[in-house]
Structure 1
Amino acid sequence: MKLKLQLPLSILIYHRVLAGPDRLFPEQVDARRVEQHMQLVHRWFRVMPLTEAVRRLAERSLPPRAACITFVDGYADSAEVALPILRRHGVNATFFVASGFLDGGCMWNDAVIEAVRNAPGDRIDLGRAGFGILDIGCPVRRRAVIDMLIAALKYLPPEERIERVKRMAQRFTPTMLSSDQLIALHRAGMEIGAHTISHPILASISNAAARAEIAGGRARLQDIIQAEVKMFAYPNGRPGHDFEERHAAMLRSQGFAGAVTTAWGAARAGSDPFYLPRFTPWDRGAGRFLLRMARNLLLPPA
C-alpha cells in the first residue's frame, strides 16, 4: 500500500496594507512590499483557498509547496489596496473580519496610534487616561509611547480599555471595511472568515460572552455576503494565552471547519484544524523572503 506524503501547509498573515511607507511603522507592509510578496508566492508556491487547503490537509492530498494568504481584522485597505494586487497575480486570500467595526469603525489600537501621531508639540497629556504627560518630541519617542500604550491597554477588561481610549482619542478616522467593500471581496472570489464582533481576547471574557462574540460575528458576515462563513481567526491568536481549548470547542460546536492562530510554523496532516499556525516573512528582498518561508517549514509544531 502506497503511503501519502505528509506535505506541509504555509499560511501567511497580513493586517494592514498601506498605500505607502509609514515612517512611524517602517516594519508595516505597504503596497510595494505586498506586490513583491504576491509575485514570489505565485511563482514558487501553490496558493489555495484556506477552506480547501484545510480539507486537503486532513485528506493528505495537499500539493507540494501549498500556501494560503490571510488578511486579518477587516481594514478598508484590504479592498482598496490588497485586492487589486491579489487580482493582478491571480492569488486567492481569506479575509478575517471583526464585524462590529464595519461601516465606519476604528479599532482601539488605531485610535491610540492616531491620537499620538497627530498630537501637536513635544508632549502629550494623557492624564485623563491614566498615563500622565509623555514625551513625544521625535518620531522615535512617539513610536515608543504608542507601543507602551498599546501594551498597557491590550489585556485590560474591554469596557475599561475602551473608556480609557476614549479619554485620549475623542475623535477618530474610520479605517475599516464597509459592507459594500466586504461584498466586493466576496464577489471577487475571496474567502470571508469570522473574527468575532468586537475583537476581544477570548481568554479574558466569560464563556457566554465568547460564544456570543463568535456566533454574532459570523452571523453578521453571513447576512452581508449571503454565503456560509467556515473559517475563524482567534483575536491576537496565541494558543494558551489569548485563547484556550474551550474556545476551540465552541468553534467545533458551531460548525466551523477550522481556525487560525498566530503561532509560527507550518500545518501538517496531523495538525488540529482549530490550531492552524500562521506567520509573515517580513524580510525585504526575494532571497530573504524565500529563505524565511523555507525556515518556517522546519519549525516544530506549536
Structure 2
Amino acid sequence: MNADALLTPAVRAALGLASPGGRRARLSTLIFHRVLPAPDPLLPGDPDAATFRWQMRTLARHFNVLPLGEAVQRLREGSLPPRAACVTFDDGYADNLTIAAPILRELGLPATFFIATGYLDGGRMFNDTLIELARRLPGERCDLSALGLGSHPLASAADRHKLVGVLVSHFKYLPPETRLQAAEALAASFGVTLPDDLMMSSAQLRELRALGMEIGGHTDSHPILARQDLAAAEQEIRLGKARLEEILGESPRLFAYPNGRKGKDYTEEHVALARSCGFDAAVSTNYGAASADSDPYQLPRFTPWDKTPGRFALRLLRNLYH
C-alpha cells in the first residue's frame, strides 16, 4: 500500500471533524481554469486530464460534492452534509467541455462554470494572447525594449515560461479597453499567428449546460473591477449576465469576481453591485472555506496545486482550518 492510500482513513476522519455538516459545516470550493490534454510547461498551474481525474477521484472519495447553487442554499439553511465541496471553473475555456466535463460526468460530479462572455465564439483573453505569443515566437531571443522590458532568451521552455510572467505582469493592470488591443498589437508586430479556438463557442456553452453543469456570470470582458469606475463595472456585470441569458435562455444565479482578491480586484461596492444585479451569491479567490457566518457574496475559493493524491487531500484539510 502506498503512502497516499495509508493517509486515507486519517485524512477522512480529520475532514469529518473539520466539517461535520449542519450548522457547523464548512464549504470547500475549488477553482480551476483549464484542463489540458497533456502537461504544458507554459501552463504549469493547469492540470492535465490524468491529473484532473485523480484530483476528482480524491475529492469524490473524501467529500460530498454539490452544485454550488445548492451548496450556497444549504449553507444558509444549515443543512450541508459533512465534508461539503464544490468544483468551479473560471473564464470559459473550450477544454472545460471537451476534457473536464467528460471526467466529471464519469465520476458523477457536478461543477459550476463562470463565463466571461466577451471571449466566446473565437475570442481570446489577453493573457492567452501573451502565452501563445511566447510559445510561438521565433528565434533564440526576444527584444521587448520598446515596452521597457529588455531582451529575453527563448532557448528553452523555461525561458518562454519566464517571458510569459514578464508579459502578463506588464499587461495585467492596463485598462481593459486597451489591454487586449495592446497584447494583440504586440503579437502582430512579431508576425505570429495565434489560435482562435481556446474559448467555448455559444453552442458549446449550451452543450455544457445540457450536461447538467451550472453556469455563472464572470462579467463580459473580465476587467479588474476595482480599476474601473462604478458605472463601467456595473455595465460589465450586467452585460455578462444578459449575454448568458440570451445564449442559455435562463438567468445565471451565481457570479465570480474577475481575479477575485478582496481589496485589490474588487471592493464592497462591487459586492453590492453583484447583489443589485440579481445574483444569489458570488465567489472570490480569497483562500479558505465558507461557514454559516460567511458573506454569501464573498464566498472563498482556493486552487489545489499539489502533485499527489495524499498532498492534495491534506491541502483540502488545511483549507478547512484556514
State the TM bucket, normalised to the shorter chain: over 0.9
| Residue 263 (structure 2) pairs with residue 244 (structure 1) | no
**Compared CA separation, residues 163 and 132, structure 1 to 2 (3 A):** farther
Give a deviation string over 1:229-252, Cα, whole Å, max 9, x none.
000000000011100000010111
Structure 1: gaps of 5 or more residues: none
Look up the match of 1:186.
Answer: 209
Of the structure 1 ranges 159-168 and 59-68, higher mean CA displacement relative to structure 2 is found in: 159-168
Runs of 4+ in structure 1 off by over 4 angstroms are 127-130
Query: What TM-score results when the alignment is normalised by the length of structure 2?
Result: 0.89
Contact 1:264-1:277 at 8 Å conserved across structures: yes
| Residue 51 (structure 2) pairs with residue 33 (structure 1) | yes
1:25 deviates by: 3.0
1:70 equivalent among 88, 107, 112: 88
Task: Give the alignment's Cα RMSD to 1 decimal.
Answer: 1.5
Query: What TM-score results when the alignment is normalised by the length of structure 1?
Result: 0.95
Q: Which amino acid aligns with 2:303?
A: T
Alignment of 1:131-210 (within 5 A): 131-170=149-188, 171-174=193-196, 175-210=198-233
1:223 deviates by: 1.1
Contact 1:128-1:167 at 8 Å conserved across structures: no
Whole-Å separation in 2 of the counterparts to 1:156 and 1:23: 26
1:141 deviates by: 1.8
Whole-Å separation in 1 of the counterparts to 2:209 and 2:46: 25
1:117 deviates by: 1.0
1:132 deviates by: 4.4
1:5 deviates by: 3.0
Whole-Å separation in 2 of the counterparts to 1:24 and 1:203: 28
User: SS at the partner of 1:169?
Assistant: helix
Alignment of 1:1-302 (within 5 A): 5-127=23-145, 129-170=147-188, 171-174=193-196, 175-299=198-322
Of the structure 1 ranges 271-280 and 18-27, higher mean CA displacement relative to structure 2 is found in: 18-27
1:213 deviates by: 0.4
Whole-Å separation in 1 of the counterparts to 2:96 and 2:319: 25
Whole-Å separation in 2 of the counterparts to 1:211 and 1:28: 30
Whole-Å separation in 2 of the counterparts to 1:226 and 1:128: 47
Whole-Å separation in 1 of the counterparts to 2:314 and 2:156: 35
Look up the match of 2:3.
Answer: none
1:120 deviates by: 1.2
Contact 1:46-1:64 at 8 Å conserved across structures: yes
Contact 1:129-1:164 at 8 Å conserved across structures: no
Whole-Å separation in 2 of the counterparts to 1:66 and 1:157: 38
User: SS at the partner of 2:24?
Assistant: coil
Contact 1:106-1:172 at 8 Å conserved across structures: no
Whole-Å separation in 1 of the counterparts to 2:150 and 2:82: 54
User: SS at the partner of 2:155?
Assistant: coil
Q: Which amino acid aligns with 1:229?
A: P
What percentage of residue pairs aligned between the two structures are identical? Answer: 51
Whole-Å separation in 1 of the counterparts to 2:28 and 2:228: 31
Q: Which amino acid aligns with 1:76?
A: A
Give a deviation string over 1:1-39, Cα, whole Å, max 9, x none.
xxx532100000000110111123334211111101111
Look up the match of 2:9.
Answer: none
Of the structure 1 ranges 241-250 and 17-26, higher mean CA displacement relative to structure 2 is found in: 17-26
1:130 deviates by: 4.9
User: SS at the partner of 2:242?
Assistant: helix
Contact 1:265-1:279 at 8 Å conserved across structures: yes
